[in-house]
Structure 1
């Protein structure tokens, strides 16, 4: 089988630190095009990866003869660029959150089906070893009935991550649509669905925009979730954690509790009610502070799904379900009431 050709749309931090290096390390693909509205950025990236530089995403997608398109753009462009690429017959890997509305997400899913091309949303936390192990333990009944959880993702903000620093699109509602909830909260909405293998039916939230002076989007949010099988818990997303990053999830069950990514040495700690403790060293979770993040697992999984015609772990439908939780959190805060999601 010949190598799959890749076009990466957007040359910001997420493409430079995740997508591009991971494509390079995969022997089954070659990067043929990169695109950025900043011409110098596109040209510098193209030179580094021996690709062709574009400033127009439509040309980059249609003229490059790419098989795969990675969409690494501000949130408001996720849907239109993904849909265009799908309509051009490309497989699409889109960054999260997949869209800025339910309507956009549904359009992306429909475009994928119509084109018979794969759509995957880059929720990398499903590939974290501790999260995979936790899902397995819970599925095997090792914790018995699950009662509750708390999951959080917080750091000092995208100015320490984005290629544009304090001038990043992350802080502008017109381009980002949503702040910490979309940047960090949607990760946790997705991974808690995955670990617990359940869907959530009720959402309530309190959201603030008080930590960033140059921003008109949310920077702190605490959300309460209730699942279809009666599990309740909290999801916190914050750009106000000035000292260190929090990426921890705690799950409380009938037979014990799991602590995930909550200890500097052990990525998972299981404490059972009989007093037994089991510590797991499963490798570090990817963080904005970590160097050497050569593989999130996302690219390799997507390429493998294309090569062997398999359904991606986080396809459009999965991305949509996680997005619905975040959209409901916004609605809950605005309306000051609990929002019910469809039970299905």
Structure 2
């Protein structure tokens, strides 16, 4: 299976390393406007380096691509690749606006190709185990949930500071947690959010309440954390018969620095850990995408519908931040 990767930054490198571990997968080419970046990654994974994304899109021998370009560049290369008959794994978030995803979905359907969005939390063992446990009903019906994601500003690129490119942390960071709540509870009804801008239109500290009807979720997301603060993610779900809580704290300021985590259930008078699904989440995600291609089946996780809903929820939170009002979805 011959693969091309658009982008040689942090996520492009992450995708490439994961593909390189799968037997029978060849990374043909990686791209970047920064030739040094592309050449460094290409040398690591045995690919060729190109400066033009079209060189990968036009290569008829490549059957699938990972698009890891900045969010504002998601649509055009994805549509072009689909029209050339390629399957696409697209980094999250799907797009800046939910409406911008529709042409990509239509192109995938017309080309009869797989389009999957890389919502890696859906392949992170602790999140998978937590969701399965809650949905099993072992501690009763859920009542509320709190999803947390705290970090400094991403250090690997400055495009995150342009709200027209990244959407700010309310989209780029918190979309993980909006997706996790939607995964747990379904389609949200409304969102109310408060927060603070790093600069105009760049909402990088947010607190959002998401109403699912019988269940409420809260997203606490910030890129205002001080220098040296470890990247932290958590998800706590309160149910009628207890609480399940996942906490991850990195060994440094970003995820790849390792760290420690716990996944614990608290019931009346007792607490006990759960053993999470195994594997590196990024490697799990890439392996799942490749398996879907080999088996000719549409993915059940990271679907365009799930990813669009996460963007729509993020967009509603941003409108609420800007207007101070509850936004209905």
Q: TM-score, normalised by structure 1?
A: 0.87
Mark the CA change 1:265 to 1:94 in structure 2 (over 3 Å): closer, same or farther.
closer
Q: Does 1:236 align with 2:233?
A: no
SS at structure 2 position matched to 1:69 = strand
Q: Identify the structure with the greater strand proportion.
A: 2
Mark the CA change 1:265 to 1:14 in structure 2 (over 3 Å): closer, same or farther.
closer
> Could you tell me how far 1:182 is from its partner in structure 2?
2.1
> CA deviation digits over 1:103-123, x for unaligned, max 9?
211111111111110011111
Q: Distance in 1 between matches of 2:25 and 2:185?
A: 32
SS at structure 1 position matched to 2:206 = strand
Which blocks of at least 5 consecutive residues in structure 2 are unaligned? 250-258
> Could you tell me how far 1:173 is from its partner in structure 2?
2.3
181-190 or 318-327, larger mean C-alpha shift: 181-190
For residue 8 of structure 1, the aligned residue among 5, 13, 29 is 5
Q: Distance in 1 between matches of 2:115 and 2:283?
A: 18
Specify the alignment match of 1:289 in structure 2. Answer: none
Specify the alignment match of 1:224 in structure 2. Answer: 209
SS at structure 2 position matched to 1:150 = strand
Conserved 8 A contact 1:266-1:281: no
1:130-279 superposed matches below 5 A: 130-159=126-155, 162=156, 164=157, 168-176=158-166, 178-194=167-183, 196-210=184-198, 217-227=202-212, 229-242=213-226, 243-261=229-247, 267-272=262-267, 274-279=268-273
SS at structure 2 position matched to 1:259 = strand
1:328-339 superposed matches below 5 A: 328-339=316-327
Specify the alignment match of 1:288 in structure 2. Answer: none
Mark the CA change 1:102 to 1:295 in structure 2 (over 3 Å): closer, same or farther.
closer
Conserved 8 A contact 2:171-2:315: no
> Could you tell me how far 1:282 is from its partner in structure 2?
3.0
Mark the CA change 1:305 to 1:197 in structure 2 (over 3 Å): closer, same or farther.
farther
78-87 or 276-285, larger mean C-alpha shift: 276-285
Conserved 8 A contact 1:119-1:315: yes
Q: Which runs of 4+ in 1 moved over 6 A?
A: none
Specify the alignment match of 2:53 in structure 1. Answer: 57
1:70-85 superposed matches below 5 A: 70-85=66-81
Which blocks of at least 5 consecutive residues in structure 1 are unaligned? 286-292
Q: Distance in 2 between matches of 1:266 and 1:183?
A: 23
1:26-37 superposed matches below 5 A: 26-37=22-33
Q: Distance in 2 between matches of 1:305 and 1:261?
A: 30
